[in-house]
Amino acid sequence: MATPSLQDGIDKAGSPIGLLWQPNAEPWTPEVVRREYAGWRREQAAWHEGVALLNLSHHMYDMWIEGPDATRVLAEHGTNDFEKFAIGQAKQYVPVTRDGKIVTDGILARHAEDKYLLSGIPAAQHWVQYHAEKGGYDVSFETDPSSAFRPGGGDPKLFRYQLQGPLALELIEKVFGGPLPRTKFFHSTPVALDGCSFAALRHGMAGQAGYEFIGPWEHAARVHDAFVEAGEPLGLVRVGALAYATPSVESGWIPSPTPGIYTDPELAEYRAWLPLFGIEGKRPLGGTFFSPDIEDYYVSPFELGYGRLIHWGHDFLGRDALLKAKEDESLRRKVTLVFDPDDVRRVIGGGEDPGFVLSYARDRVETAAGTVGTTMQIASIDPAGTVLATALVAPAHAAPGTRVEVVWGEHPGPGAAPGADLDFPRIRATVQPSPYDRHARTEYRRDA
């Protein structure tokens, strides 16, 4: 029996929205990692005030791309600059459709002249592999799914540990016997520890100082134990799955935007190539913003703040559409919404502390003018004293200090009017910049 494709799922459900709309879906958190080690509040505080250890080893999907055409296939299907892409450097890879809508982003690291590693949510990997196979590029692929989807179980090929926070560099010096070589943002340097060789990528999840250490899984336990032992006197806190899912709200990264692949007739073959039981067929939509048209959920890389990653000096799929979008002053702006704490307790907590809040729902953002945007991720951020949301809003309502309301609840989806109120409560919120974290906003990429 043939494995059902994404197109099979759409056809059976009647529409992309019929397939993806799942009210009250459980929000994603990293698999395998414990939900909490020291409590999510203390874990969040660690990367603000001390040092935090995050384990990224199990939820990342890795794809190695190697061959004479590796650079060409990536450049022709991504917006990035490949003329200035050093071996040992990483970039946020941004592929778009011919209509200029994002597929999703990923972290692309150059390992050799003709070898790359693309990591993250697998939609970008699927996109590159499909076009490479269809276009006859001279390139090969090796994949390592996330631990929840690895056939037969087993360990990942790579460990990924991240140290971040004000004390991260002090801890790193203790572990390695001195400071690491000066390393630019999103560049890596080789390191060794007790005979284990691996890489240190200068990168942090919430815009804080730190490194991501990546190496063969056979060394994972030794490296991890070394960090924990050296970090104990500094108050090192291990970060669990709940807190791990929240720093993106502070750093302004929007995880897993809806891929713009569901409607273009020219992508029918691609949808038939994709498995139904993949990220494109199983990442749910929900919230108070409902539209029967999946294209209302598509986003432009400009809306996500990726305009700086577009290199106009080469030809790539979607370039013409992005040139037009570049001049579109109506595109939404990415902002942070700071929820009113009293409203959070009233609406979410029933008058009490609501505890941990995490949602990837598309909730309506309103003013007196009506709906002016949608949320993309919502999370409790204890150091901020409230709940924050990353949202996309119309330019006229994007200025810091603008007062808005977030419509809280779950639209039932098909069968009810898109704008149905259904007695949804409102949470007052104030627009602030994105990234919300000052370090991420002003200093994070200073020496990129």
Identify the three-state secondary structure at position 220: helix
Mind listing the pLDDT tens digit for each residue in 33-74? 899 999 999 999 999 999 999 999 999 999 999 999 999 999
Return the percentage of the chain with pLDDT > 90, whole number. 90
Tokens found for residue 113: 């002249």
What percent helix, strand, coil does the chain show, rounded to 5?
Answer: 30, 25, 45
Report which secondary-structure segment, H or E, holds 90.
strand 90-93
Write down the pLDDT at residue 420. 84
- The mean predicted confidence, pLDDT, of the chain is 94
Question: Where does the pLDDT of residue 192 fall: very low under 50, low under 70, confident under 90, or very high at 90 and above?
Answer: very high
Q: What is the pLDDT of residues 163-191, one digit of tens each?
A: 999 999 999 999 999 999 999 999 999 99
Q: How many helices (H) and strands (E) does the chain have?
A: 14, 18
What pLDDT is attached to residue 171?
97
C-alpha distances in Å from residue 320, one per residue of 72, 77, 103, 328, 398:
19, 13, 16, 13, 27
Confidence of residue 160 (pLDDT cuts 50, 70, 90): very high
Confidence of residue 439 (pLDDT cuts 50, 70, 90): low
Q: Give the C-alpha distances (Å, rounded to integers) separating 17 from 9, 332, 412.
A: 11, 22, 12
Maximal C-alpha separation, the chain? 63
**Residues 219-276: tens digit of each pLDDT:** 999 999 999 999 999 999 999 999 999 999 999 999 989 999 999 999 999 999 999 9
The pLDDT assigned to 32 comes to: 76
Whether residue 204 is predicted with pLDDT greater than 80 in this model: the reply is: no
Instruction: Please report the pLDDT score of residue 140 as a whole number.
Output: 98
Task: Write the CB contacts of 101 (distance below 8 Å, at least 6 apart in sequence).
Answer: 259, 260, 298, 299, 300, 318
| Token pair belonging to 51 | 């040092």
Please say if the pLDDT value at position 441 is more than 60. Answer: no
Q: What is the pLDDT of residue 205?
A: 59
**pLDDT score of 207:** 54
DSSP, collapsed to helix, strand or coil, labels residue 133 as helix
Do 103 and 96 meet the contact criterion of CB atoms below 8 Å apart?
yes
Q: Report whether pLDDT(1) > 90.
A: no
Q: Are 147 and 34 in contact, with CB atoms under 8 Å apart?
A: no
Specify the pLDDT at position 322: 98
- Mean pLDDT across the stretch 287-305? 98
CA torsion angle for 170, 174, 179, 183 (degrees, to 10)?
A: -70
pLDDT reported for residue 443: 53
pLDDT in tens, 73-84: 999 999 999 999
- Domain architecture of the chain: domains with CATH: 40-60+152-251 (3.30.1360.120), 333-442 (2.40.30.110)
Rg (CA), the chain: 22
Q: What is the pLDDT of residues 351-382, one digit of tens each?
A: 999 999 999 999 999 999 999 999 999 999 99
pLDDT of 86 strictly over 60? yes
Main-chain phi, psi angles of 367, to 5 degrees: -135, -170
Q: What is the pLDDT of residue 116?
A: 98
pLDDT for residue 440 is more than 70: no
